[in-house]
Structure 1
Amino acid sequence: MKLRSKGQLTVPIEIRQHLGLHEGDEVEFTIHGNVVHLTRAQANRSHGRRIASRLRGRGTSGMSTEEIMGLLRGED
């Protein structure tokens, strides 16, 4: 693995999968002697929350909030 000119590395897919890392996740580096540890940052939102935040406000159903709530409640 080569360090790029701007100090960037590509984290191999096996490591990303093992840590559950996805695009946009925060990671932390800690140094112990000559060893660097890469960990997933604790403040990360779950994958589902990231997807929901990306989709929020994009959907259109043509229905009002009250109509949607009525469907969810089973009202006719």
Structure 2
Amino acid sequence: MNYKVQRRNNNPPTIKQLNNRQQMKVINEFFSGMKQLLKTGFGPEARGTTKNYQNLAIEYNKPNALKGYLPDVEIDYSKS
């Protein structure tokens, strides 16, 4: 089998990458402790796909429940 060796990116992260990291941090902190709720809500949608319940929860909530831009990313509770 041929496996590609992934090289480490030594370039500094872009603003978009830093914003994405901040969004992921906020959404993961929000979801911490909600495993069973996420599994119940998004688990049925994940069946038969290559995604798991957490992937689907992030995919839905990241664009729909977050507001702001680096460094002021936060949950918009009126939308979540």
Q: Same fold (TM over 0.5)?
A: no
TM-score by structure 1 length? 0.29
Per the normalisation by structure 2, the TM-score is 0.28
Give the number of the structure whose alpha-carbon radius of gyration is greater.
Answer: 1
Q: Tell me which protein shows more helix as a share of its residues.
A: 2
Larger RCO of the pair (alpha carbons < 8 Å, separation 6+): 2
**Larger % of strand: which?**
1
